[in-house]
Amino acid sequence: MINFIGRGLANTCDGQVRRDFLRVGALGALGLSLPQYLWAREQGLVKPGHEQRSCIMIFNLGAPSQLDTFDLKPQAPLEVRGPFRPIATRSPEIQISEILPRHAEVADKFSIVRSCYHAGAAVHDAGWQMMQTGRQFAGGIETPHAGAVVNYFHQRRSDLPPFMVLPELMGRGGGSLPNGQAGGFLGKGHNPFALMADPSQPNFRVPDLLPPAELGTVRVDRRRRLRSIVENQLKDFEASDDARLMEQNFESAYRLMASPQARAAFDLAQEKDSVRDRYGRNRFGQCCLLARRLVEAGVRFVTVNTFLTVFDDVSWDIHGSKPFTSIEGMKNIVAPMYDQGYSALIEDLAQRGMLDDTMVAGLAEFGRTPKVNPAGGRDHWPQCFSVTFAGGGVQGGRVIGASDPIGAVPAERPTLPGEVLATIFHSMGLSLDSHLPGPGGRPFPIVDSGTREIRELF
């Protein structure tokens, strides 16, 4: 890997120097050129009229308990229904948990799918992989994240990277599988730009957006000339795929650094204090606000990780015993933060006239066990869980599917991860019959044969 601008300023946990600027492969997710995009439209792979659509995927690391959030069972035995009561919402169809009161105020704008399930292992990274790519990791083939697929077919819209992850990529999940937040077999050029910073901090600054303080324009230009000299001496390399990726990444990074639009998009100080307070002065809340700003500035796909790991962070992973939290801990810590940030995002997008063109998908890797365990928590349960959708053509205030009386398995409209991803692709105007250039150059379908969107949402 070639780094054109000096050493990084920080080390990762694996000892590698973290990228700071213009490292080949650092930005990724380049998006289509205009000729490629026009070709995709001509082939019917992108539907006209969806060019302005964006997606914010909120990924709830740890897996919220369906029985304590979006699929309460008040008639079930106490050890199943848990301690919370359902409350009415702005939608006559929807009742949700009392620990999500602000969701109740925007329930006419989102819909719930209560019948999701998958056949993957009950470990976090298996679920992360399946719910963000639509497939299990098998045979060494890593399917691209939905954001990488969307940006493979769509034209780039601004100086900002078209596929971003906030605040950073997921950490450990307890297994040895890829976490699904990458370009997969599409290559590193389709990896997301990871923020690598906490936007709730007073000194928030994007490490990879602007050059280090000691780096001036003259030095950047000198490095550009050096790169040109190297390439002129290495004609064979210049014609290679690696060289083309290097050239694209260099130009993207240089354009990003010099872009007033990019600087402005990341500048949360431009927001009123009342707006920042409404989202919540915490990492998740400010990531939601930043996601709105990025979409407004032209970023097509933003994934917000509610948490970074299930091990060193309080999360939705409510096993009950330490170091995990309990159902009660979820009520006091996790739910209020999520309730505030999510509802503020939906309200803000709606008030700005952006919700119709911005899908907000609230996903998770699985659900939780129907019975409360002896430690006062719930364990992993891929057999049934809930997800939410808002905007991007989705009709709000609906409940799609249903679980059985104890929330253990789907009873109506069973929904697989591929259908969840197909719903995002449908909203973004992609033909579900499209193919990607897969391993070995073989055509690879973006969804499995026969998989279609959750049509009841639209």
Summarize the confidence of residues 178-201 as an average pLDDT. 95
> Domains plus CATH for the chain?
34-215+270-457 (3.40.720.10)
For CA atoms 324, 328, 384, 452, the dihedral sign is negative
CA angle 84, 89, 95 (to 5 degrees): 45
| Cα dihedral 216, 218, 219, 225 in deg (nearest 10) | 150
- Cβ–Cβ under 8 Å, residues 102 and 109: no
For CA atoms 80, 376, 61, 279, the dihedral sign is positive
Summarize the confidence of residues 103-110 as an average pLDDT. 98
Single-letter residue type at 234: L
Contacts for 437 with CB less than 8 Å, ≥ 6 apart: 186, 443, 444
Q: How confident is the prediction for the chain on average, in pLDDT?
A: 86
Tens of pLDDT, residues 425-454: 999 999 999 999 999 999 999 999 999 999
Residue 6 has pLDDT above 90, yes or no: no
- Greatest Cα pair distance, the chain, in angstroms, is 75
Whole-model pTM: value is 0.85
Summarize the confidence of residues 52-57 as an average pLDDT. 96
Please name the helix (run of DSSP H) or strand (run of DSSP E) that holds residue 122, with its range, or none: none
Among the residue ranges 10-19, 100-109, 137-146, 387-396, the one predicted with the least confidence is: 10-19
Residue 8 has pLDDT above 60, yes or no: no
Tens of pLDDT, residues 62-103: 999 999 999 999 999 999 999 999 999 999 999 999 999 999
Q: pLDDT class for 237, splitting at 50, 70, 90? A: low
Tens of pLDDT, residues 319-346: 999 889 999 999 999 999 999 999 999 9
Residue 219 has pLDDT above 90, yes or no: no
